[in-house]
Amino acid sequence: MMELTKILVPIALSPSCAWAAQYSAQLASRFGSKLLFLHVGNCLRETVEAFLAQAVKDTSYEITICQGDPADAIVQLASETSPSLIVMPTHSHGRFRRFLLGSVTAKVLHDVEYPVLTGVHHETAPLSTGSNIRQILCAVDTDGGFVPVIKGALAFARLFDATLTVVHAIPAADETSDNRGESEMRKFLFRLAEERLAQLKREAEVDVTISLVGGAVYTVIREAALRTGAEVVVIGRGRTQRELGRLRTQAYSIIRHSPCPVLSI
């Protein structure tokens, strides 16, 4: 059973970081989690506290402020505190934007061994800060990362008593084409995927229905999230470059295009 005992939230003083603070505070309040905020920069503690006072209400927390490289600081504090979850935005404003959209997110996703929940901030449609998650979408691949991802998604769904939908994208299968050759290739690819996923489910000892959909990975996942009304998308990621699978190499596209937060396990 997954437990959210400790949540780490790296923040800059931006609207998307306010979302991350609010979202994590909702989770902490619901599950009794210890809430840790990290700010890397020159801001005074009073400034950070004033920012959090507007975003976090009636929830206790701790603040760490330090100097240096934001990514290194996040990874270091994560290794020291062993959080159950790291919550961070992937879109911000001003100078800090390039950090959270690019190198910082990349390093955190690559280097930490803890689940990371990222949320893309849309100015025209801000993400909900509510923690009442009822629909979860899990995107799986057919490599060795299947087991931790599906089991993590199942545990996360049980934590919220949510409905879990599982999808596998087959990028080489164009479902819109009526060309005979492409149709036969599509059937072949789907059959291979079905056989491989059946084997992986047996190895993982899980009984879940997996929908196979042809198309670009991020498009398939986005459309499935919209169709199911998912509040969170769960995907896998590798710990080293050699372990990166096809789905994991597209993590950024999935996160950028997702209509809801993405939990990378």
Angstrom distance (rounded) from CA 164 to CA 108 = 26
Dihedral angle sign, alpha carbons of residues 41, 43, 49, 53: negative
CATH architecture, range 6-119 = 3-Layer(aba) Sandwich (3.40)
Res 107: pLDDT? 82
Res 99: pLDDT? 41
- The residue among 133, 139, 141 whose CA lies nearest residue 163 is 133
The first and second tokens of residue 236, run together, are 């896998």
Name the DSSP letter for residue 100: I
CB neighbourhood size of 128 (10 A) = 16
CATH architecture, range 135-260 = 3-Layer(aba) Sandwich (3.40)
Exposure class string for 42-60: b at 16+ Cβ within 10 A, else e = ebeeeebeebbeebbeebe
Res 130: pLDDT? 58
Res 102: pLDDT? 57
6-119 matches 135-260 in fold:
yes
The first and second tokens of residue 28, run together, are 């902490």
- Burial class of residue 147, CB neighbours in 10 A (0-12, 13-18, 19+): middle
* Regions of the chain with pLDDT less than 70: 1, 90-103, 120-131, 173-181, 238-249
The domain locations on the chain are: 6-119, 135-260
Q: For residue 235, how many C-alpha atoms fall within 13 Å in the half-sphere facing its CB? A: 30
Q: Which residues contact 16 (CB under 8 A, 6 or more apart)?
A: 89, 90, 91, 92, 93, 100, 119, 121
Angstrom distance (rounded) from CA 32 to CA 60 = 10
Q: Which helix (H) or strand (E) element contains residue 84?
A: none
Angstrom distance (rounded) from CA 179 to CA 56 = 55
